[in-house]
Structure 1
Amino acid sequence: MFSVPLLRSHATVGLVDRDRLQLYHANRSVILVSSAIDFSGGDGLDKFIAIIIAFRHLSLKQNGILDTLAKTNGELVKKSGIPRNNKVVQEGNELQLPGNEPEETFTVTLGDVISRDPATIGRSTVVLKATSDRWPKNKLVIKISWPGSGRVPETDFLKKAYAEAEKTDGQWATKHLPRVFYAKDVVFEKDSTLESVASLFTDAKFAKRGYVYERRTLRIIIQEQLVPIKSLSNTRDICQVFTDIACTHRWLHDCPGILHRDLSKNNIMCRYIEEMNALGEREQQVYGVLTDYDLSSWTKDLKTDYTRTSEQRTGTPPYMAQELLKGTSTTHLYRHDVESLFYIMLLMCGRHTFGHVKERAGKETKRQVVMREGNRPYEDWFDAPSYALLGKNKSSFFLDIEDIELSPAFEDFRTWLQSLQIAFSKGFTLKSVDVVQRREQEYNGSSACEVASFDDETLGGCIHYSSLINPIRRLTGELKGLIIRYDPAQVPLPTSTSAVHPDA
């Protein structure tokens, strides 16, 4: 119901069980459940008929269909059939968006779905290909999501990042940031259904204390269309993109003071830029681009008493740090993102190979990353029934130093991945020893602090930028000689950045 049509603020459905009806009203924050109506006797049938009549008289807006933004939404919702391929369910749908001047509007025509990420509850991020007469020469994507209203807008982070990127040597960092053409937050009036539902939670009493209704904002962002990492055709380009992401991620942390907090395969993209090579010839060079700053935070706000600005865990479970999955850490640290990057590389290199895929628009085939056939490693990471169990599986992977399973096509990555696995294994072991020592001290009744303070931010000094980057210098074969674009030792850290550990 939330996918067709795309721009829908809420939906109401009915569950019929023999002679009873129960209504469910859902928006991006909560599901309200009515008491059951028995329409087999008494006044139940009258109530049932009244409900049917009432729903028939609701406007599109009251049904949650935002037809003021999408003129074709009304027609789309009336279609009885839904295409089997959910990648083209919005193809041809048009959005009418307000411009910079009053009364100015422009049209965006939607194309294929690039990604749909339901992992973070409520956010419901959808990215689609798009075209617009406003930018006729650019390939576009439109990103539509419902982040928590209390979160810093993604564009605020990007504005700060671009301002700092223009100061870098040769403006290198600008090549690794997404280019935004348009951003719009949709404001809902006080008499809207969303606001009416939110008002129900004002001074409400709950069986479980501590519940807070989380308001959400409809955010629309139009960006340049980038190239997904899975479309690359060789391991060297893929490893260069991962290296770029590692460099850019740390640069964002050190200079603009941004921690991404949502590294996943879908957020690692790339672009090609034509440049001169060593022979003086022009050729396309690949650059990794880190996208999707919806869940990012300013590093100065990441203190030990940090309170989540969202009621839900942030991230995509297979790529999330094990401590965040288990709930043993409430502060999102730089090393948690490093752990996520490790999982992204591990899962890509273990579960994929190269193959030839036919392009949808024509008959030509293109070499790119494809899933391996047969039993794929780490399948239980995708099938885990709970966050806690997935966290325990990942913990065992490090503490037991389980063998790294790689596809033959990605064997050259083994040195980098093993180095990171060992670093995390050592760090988590040191942290476990620290916990044991502190509990032993408490058991013995010692009042003095006899155990040295453990550096949790770097897992006892085991995880930092150099532990991520230095193994790249030792790669061999096709991965030898990759470009490392950021060295903190050569860049003065801003005095306003807190919780930063310089890595020489």
Structure 2
Amino acid sequence: MATQIHNLTPDQLGLLPQLRASYLPPSLSTQPRQTFEELSQGLKNGSTDCLVNAEYTFEGSDGHTRTLRITAVLFRSEGIVDRMSVVLEVICICSDAEKCGWHGRSLVLKVSFPGVNREPEDKLIAKAQNTAQQKSAHWALNHLPNLLDSITLVYKDDTPQVKLREHSKAEGITGYEERAVHVAILEKLETLNTLTSMKGYAQIFYDILQIHRWLYEEAKILHRDLSPGNIMLRRIEDKIYGVLNDFDLASSIPRTGGATSNQCTGTRPYMALDLLDDDGWYFGHMYRHDLESLFYIILCFACRYEAPGKHCRDPPFSKWFTGTDADVLNAKNKFITRGQVSAIPIQRHFRFFELWLEGMFLIIRRGYRNQADYQDNQKQGVEFDQETLGGELTYQKVKTLMSSYNGEALETRWT
């Protein structure tokens, strides 16, 4: 089987269909010219560096055919082909610049492989953008990704994905998730590590709190994967705006409210306690789980770095990043239920985040203690508000804490 997979083309593997190797003359490229066979070999070996200088041509939703040249690999998730995501920096090299509109722009090309039954990322972003327009919430557009175009490609009949689907159906095998190739072209944004101002970081985090809640309340979307990698920033004139990025795991909220899905999602070091507990939690992913994730993001930012982008010599909470789900659950549970608020190891450079972290820590602790008390003394007919951990973990309480930094009010975008 390994030999057969090794002999498949990139199209058959399902990675970047229609991708072609670059044949640029040396005067236009600092990279050695690569053949299609070399490109195929590199992809099969799990490398994405071979993609640099390759070109991708597609017909856009406006009917215009565009060609993008890959200039850098920004991110590649770990995983097998057909389930990983690849984020690439690209430049548009269309010969007809007037018709194209993107010519010469540095953009981002994201390739992902969602299940065919999931709401695709582009539809959720479009839903959020349309809601902002319809409700005159133009401020929200500054905090959302700018999706320029997207394409969803189904696998061809000769690909392993289609053959596996047919085999699963024939054998009555359940659990096989059919996937598609999703290609999105987006505006390029800045990462968090480009900032140096502590108040700037505070404003970005406060922006994320607001746009995340607006999405939940107005667009009826729950993000479900708050992590540092999904927080970007946009500069407009002399101001910075936090942008909530990557809607791959986001879901529309059911009309009846409550959890968006029974599936627990997120990035492990930043996942809420409940979501790490496979055996004890069965209510699905709720809004307040993302609030808890935001706390862990700010906590790790302020405790694991001596300065922006500079790790401590022996950073705390390391098990959250290296342990199994059970390890992370146990370590976080110990920290939340038995840790001392005064012992949170905030680095001196980030000392003005202390009020935020201590306040959020106590809110989350009280909430989980409420939950534990309810479980220990559960009686028929007694109800507990899992949505807020008994009224403790709410947007308004966290907003009150985060609306100022070092005694200065931050800019509230959504009133």
TM bracket (short chain): 0.7 to 0.9
Amino acid at match of 2:249: L
1:295 is the counterpart of 2:249: yes
1:98 is the counterpart of 2:59: yes
Asked if 1 retains the 8 angstrom alpha-carbon contact of 2:203 and 2:242, the reply is yes
Equivalent in the alignment of 2:410: 482
Unmatched 5+ stretches in structure 1: 1-11, 15-22, 26-54, 275-283, 355-368, 442-447, 488-504
**Secondary structure of 1:346's aligned partner:** helix
Equivalent in the alignment of 1:245: 208
CA gap 1:377/1:89 in 2 versus in 1, 3 angstroms: farther
Equivalent in the alignment of 1:181: 148
Asked if 2 retains the 8 angstrom alpha-carbon contact of 1:302 and 1:331, the reply is no
How many residue pairs get aligned? The number is 392
Once the two structures are superposed, residues 40-96 of structure 1 have per-residue CA deviations (whole angstroms, 9 ceiling, x without a partner) of xxxxxxxxxxxxxxx87x66645x26685112189355269969xx77442111112
- For residue 71 of structure 1, the aligned residue among 20, 28, 36 is 20
**Secondary structure of 2:275's aligned partner:** helix
1:124 is the counterpart of 2:98: no
**Secondary structure of 1:107's aligned partner:** strand
Once the two structures are superposed, residues 188-244 of structure 1 have per-residue CA deviations (whole angstroms, 9 ceiling, x without a partner) of 2344332111111115366xxxx4101111100000000101111111111100000
**Secondary structure of 1:130's aligned partner:** strand
- For residue 181 of structure 2, the aligned residue among 197, 213, 218 is 218
Identity %: 29
- For residue 314 of structure 2, the aligned residue among 359, 370, 375 is 375
1:262 is the counterpart of 2:225: yes
Unmatched 5+ stretches in structure 2: 23-33, 95-99
1:391 is the counterpart of 2:351: no
Amino acid at match of 1:475: Y
Amino acid at match of 1:456: Q
Asked if 1 retains the 8 angstrom alpha-carbon contact of 2:259 and 2:286, the reply is no
Write the distance in 2 (CA, Å) between the matches of 1:290 and 1:141: 15
**Secondary structure of 2:74's aligned partner:** strand
Amino acid at match of 1:459: L
Amino acid at match of 2:186: Q
Equivalent in the alignment of 2:29: none
Equivalent in the alignment of 1:461: 391
Once the two structures are superposed, residues 115-151 of structure 1 have per-residue CA deviations (whole angstroms, 9 ceiling, x without a partner) of 2233899641221111113412532111111111111
Alignment of 1:42-441 (within 5 A): 61-62=11-12, 64=13, 69-72=18-21, 75-78=35-38, 88-100=49-61, 105-118=65-78, 123-132=83-92, 133=94, 134=100, 135-167=102-134, 171-204=138-171, 211-274=174-237, 284-300=238-254, 308=262, 313-327=264-278, 328-354=281-307, 369-384=308-323, 386-402=324-340, 403-438=343-378, 441=379
Write the distance in 2 (CA, Å) between the matches of 1:226 and 1:305: 30
Write the distance in 1 (CA, Å) between the matches of 2:261 and 2:321: 28
Once the two structures are superposed, residues 358-382 of structure 1 have per-residue CA deviations (whole angstroms, 9 ceiling, x without a partner) of xxxxxxxxxxx21324101111111
**Secondary structure of 2:19's aligned partner:** coil
The structural deviation recorded for 1:456 is 0.4
Write the distance in 2 (CA, Å) between the matches of 1:195 and 1:264: 33
More helix by share: 2
Write the distance in 1 (CA, Å) between the matches of 2:413 and 2:204: 11
CA gap 1:177/1:474 in 2 versus in 1, 3 angstroms: closer
Once the two structures are superposed, residues 305-357 of structure 1 have per-residue CA deviations (whole angstroms, 9 ceiling, x without a partner) of 8654x7xx522111111111112144110000101111111111111233xxx
Asked if 1 retains the 8 angstrom alpha-carbon contact of 2:39 and 2:51, the reply is no
CA gap 1:137/1:350 in 2 versus in 1, 3 angstroms: same
Asked if 1 retains the 8 angstrom alpha-carbon contact of 2:75 and 2:87, the reply is yes
Write the distance in 1 (CA, Å) between the matches of 2:15 and 2:84: 16
**Secondary structure of 2:169's aligned partner:** coil
Asked if 2 retains the 8 angstrom alpha-carbon contact of 1:349 and 1:407, the reply is yes
CA gap 1:97/1:353 in 2 versus in 1, 3 angstroms: farther
**Secondary structure of 2:75's aligned partner:** strand
Asked if 2 retains the 8 angstrom alpha-carbon contact of 1:401 and 1:421, the reply is no
Write the distance in 2 (CA, Å) between the matches of 1:342 and 1:183: 33
Write the distance in 2 (CA, Å) between the matches of 1:215 and 1:161: 26
TM-score (norm 2): 0.86
Write the distance in 2 (CA, Å) between the matches of 1:371 and 1:122: 34
Cα root mean square deviation, aligned: 2.9
Alignment of 1:32-43 (within 5 A): none
Write the distance in 2 (CA, Å) between the matches of 1:376 and 1:77: 44
The structural deviation recorded for 1:396 is 1.6
Asked if 2 retains the 8 angstrom alpha-carbon contact of 1:87 and 1:114, the reply is no
The structure whose Rg is larger is 1
Write the distance in 2 (CA, Å) between the matches of 1:139 and 1:174: 20
Asked if 1 retains the 8 angstrom alpha-carbon contact of 2:20 and 2:36, the reply is no
Asked if 2 retains the 8 angstrom alpha-carbon contact of 1:228 and 1:270, the reply is yes
Asked if 1 retains the 8 angstrom alpha-carbon contact of 2:54 and 2:69, the reply is yes
